[in-house]
Structures are given as structure tokens and as C-alpha cells.
Amino acid sequence: MFGCIGRFFKRHNRKMIFLGVFGSGVVIGYKYFQAKVSEIQEKEAEASIVFARKQHHFDCNQRTCNRTALSMLPNLKSAILQTIDTESLTQQLKSSSNNKLQIWEELKLLSFTRTICSVYICSMLVLLLRVQLNIVGAYIYRDKFSPKVNGMGSHYSNDPQNIQGQYLANLEHLLGQGLKDLVEHVQSAVVNVIGKISLKEKLSSSKVLNIIHEIRMAVECNPESGSTGSSCKKLCTFILPPEEKPDIDVSNNVYEEKLLDKMMAETRDVLDSDDFHSVFCTCLDVGFRHLMDRLADNFTLPQTFRPDRANLSEPEIPMAKFIPIINKLTFRLCSEPPNPFFQELLLMEPMKDLAANVYEAFTQEKEPPPPTGFFLSNLFFKASDCQTVN
């Protein structure tokens, strides 16, 4: 029997060798395939965890942006009222002043200027906060979750809030010198458009719309570039302090100083981008639509209106009576929450897209980031406020 088996193997030795090699190859290939499938599954699971963690961190950052913006409404309104004081002129009109006509003319210009500036400054504040806090959020994410390049870790600052305070001091510039420059720019346009409109002239809703449109064109158009359409490039110059003369003190710490310069340069790059200008213009469109909706409420027809006997002309209001109406709108545009105008700005889809683009761009940076550990203790945003997805 064993001889038969030996003769069988001798006759079919090549076939047996082939089957052995083939079978071994199949087993090895199968094990290799299993290992690759397992590796791919592990990578997909890891990518899913990273995506979920990053998405959670981003969502938490956006909620912080919204809360911070809403919390600054009282400061914003106070800055506008202090920069453009129309209440003192109102008090002078109530007294027995001899130059009431001159006061009315000044009040006319300042009322339009203050309300229109409110739309601009609200949009600027929301956008600047969105950009800055998403850059900060991206640095926090890189510092805490991204792999360290060349084994380099972060070095925590001895003064964790110093660099953060300097970076966010740009908000003080916006509500200070930036607002003053904006007021001067807008007031020049207001004088050119409505300076010659008499206090007795009657205004309809459509005429007010044309006035606001003309003021916007004068404010937003950039004559230096030869453009005749609306543009936000000129207005963006009021958001940050001049680059050659920053209004913030640089730190003695070399790491902090380099990081601050880097973050400021990155912020300016974002503000100079076409995407930022596009979102800015959308914010302004939303703001002036809110403004016109509030003004239109004052041009409603009386309840005794009868269509069969009505004059086809629009309701009209004399300029002198329209001034108090537009003057008080600053209090509505910059009112504390719930603020429909601010809420719409914060929840705009273009605003969310801009935030996502900024956050993604700076979390994907491949170069070794400057020391950023000190952001983790910042008062405006703490990653520990949210449960991290592991």
C-alpha cells in the first residue's frame, strides 16, 4: 500500500508541488487580504473618530462665537451712542434755543449717520469675532489633537492670557478708532446725499429707499479703483488697526511676539480675501433690509383707508418728523438679545461657510505651529467647556 502511494507521488510529483505552492499562495494571499481589510477598517474608524472630534470642537467653537458676539451688544451700543451723540441735540431743541433750525439740520445728518453706521459696525463686529475665534479655535485643535511635527510639542506660556488679550484687543480698536473713522466716512456720504433735503420735504417709503441706496453707494464704492458698484474693501480698512502702527503692545516673550505677528498676518489675509468681502456684502444686505423693514412700518396706511377713494400716491412723512424715527432705530438694531438682526447675521449660511473655511484652513496647517498651549486657558473659549468626542 505504501509502495502504491509512493509510486503515485512519484508519478504526480510536479502536480503535487504545484498544488502545494498554489495552496500556500492562496493562504498567504488570503491572510494578506484580511490584514489589508483590517488596516483599512482601522483607518476608517480612526478617521471617523477624528472627524467627529473635529466637528464637535468646531460646533462648540461656533456656539462660543455666538455667545461672545451677543454679549458684546451693550458695549457696541454704548460705543455708537458715545461717538454719535444725538440725545444732547434733542435736549437743546427742548430748550428755548435761538438756533433751532441749525440744530435740526445737524440732528438730521447725525440721525442718518448713526443708524447707517449701526448696520455697518454690527456686521463688522460679527465678522471679526467669527474670524478671530475660529483662528483661535483652529490653533487650539492643532495644539491639543494634531500630531506634533518632528516630535515638537507645545510650550505653555507663563502668562496664558497675555497674547490672547493682545490679539482680541482689535475689538477695542473696532469700537474705538475704527468706529470713529467709519463715522467720518459715512457722515461725508450722508452730507452729500441729504444735506440739501429740506426739513419740510415729504418722504415716501420709496424715496427713503433711494436715499439709503445712494448713501450706501457713496460709502461702499471705491473711486480709487474706478469701480462704480458696491464693494466692502474700503470698509475693511476700518476693522483692524493699521499694520505699520498696531495699537497693541507686543510681548517681551519671543514666542508670543512671533505668534501674535503670525496671527495678525493671517487675520489680515482672511479680511483681504474675496470670500470675506462676499460675506460682508451679504451681511450689509441683510442689515439694510432689516433697516428698511423697520422704516416701512411708519409708512403704513391708516385703518380708515378705502381703496375706492384712495389717492394712488404713497403715504408721506415730512423730513422733520422722519428724523426721530430713524434716530431711534439704533436702539433696535443694537438691542440686547433677543435681537432679530444680530441673530440672522449669526445664523447666515454664508457666515457658517466662512467660519468652516477659516477653521479648516488653519487646522490643516502642515508646518510646525508656534507655541499655542496657552490658548487652552483662554476665557473666551475653553475646549474643556465641551465634552470631547473620543
| Residue range 359-388: mean pLDDT, rounded | 51
CA distance 117 to 135: 27
| Residue range 212-216: mean pLDDT, rounded | 95
Amino acid identity for residue 100 in this structure: K
307 vs 48, residue with greater confidence: 48
Report the pLDDT value the prediction gives residue 166, as an integer from 0 to 100: 80
Least confident of 20-24, 51-55, 68-72, 381-385: 381-385
Report yes or no: 126 and 350 within 8 Å, Cβ to Cβ: no
Residue 252 domain-assigned?
Answer: yes
**SS3 label, residue 360:** helix
Residue 50 domain-assigned?
Answer: yes
- Evaluate the omega torsion of the peptide bond into residue 338 and state whether it is cis, within 30 degrees of 0: yes
CA distance 314 to 113: 25
Residue 375 domain-assigned?
Answer: yes
41: its cell numbers: 477598517
Report the pLDDT value the prediction gives residue 69, as an integer from 0 to 100: 93
Least confident of 26-40, 157-171, 262-276, 352-366: 157-171
Amino acid identity for residue 54 in this structure: K
Residue 65 domain-assigned?
Answer: yes
Report the pLDDT value the prediction gives residue 165, as an integer from 0 to 100: 76
- The torsion defined by the Cα of 335, 353, 230 and 317, in degrees rounded to 10, comes to -30
The b/e string for 193-217 (b: 16+ C-beta within 10 A; e otherwise) is bbeeeeeeeebebeebeebbeebbe
pLDDT, tens digit, for every residue of 153-202? 343 333 446 667 788 888 999 999 999 999 999 999 999 999 989 999 99
Report yes or no: 171 and 129 within 8 Å, Cβ to Cβ: yes
| Residue range 246-270: mean pLDDT, rounded | 75
CA distance 326 to 116: 9
CA distance 144 to 329: 45
Domain of residue 127 covers 2-303+310-385
Residue 94 domain-assigned?
Answer: yes
CA distance 234 to 226: 13
**SS3 label, residue 205:** helix
Residue 357 domain-assigned?
Answer: yes
The domain total for the chain is 1
pTM for the model stands at 0.81
Residue 390 domain-assigned?
Answer: no
Residues counted in the chain? 390
65 vs 305, residue with greater confidence: 65
Residue 152 domain-assigned?
Answer: yes
Residues with Cβ within 8 Å of residue 115, at least 6 apart in sequence:
291, 326, 327, 329, 330, 333
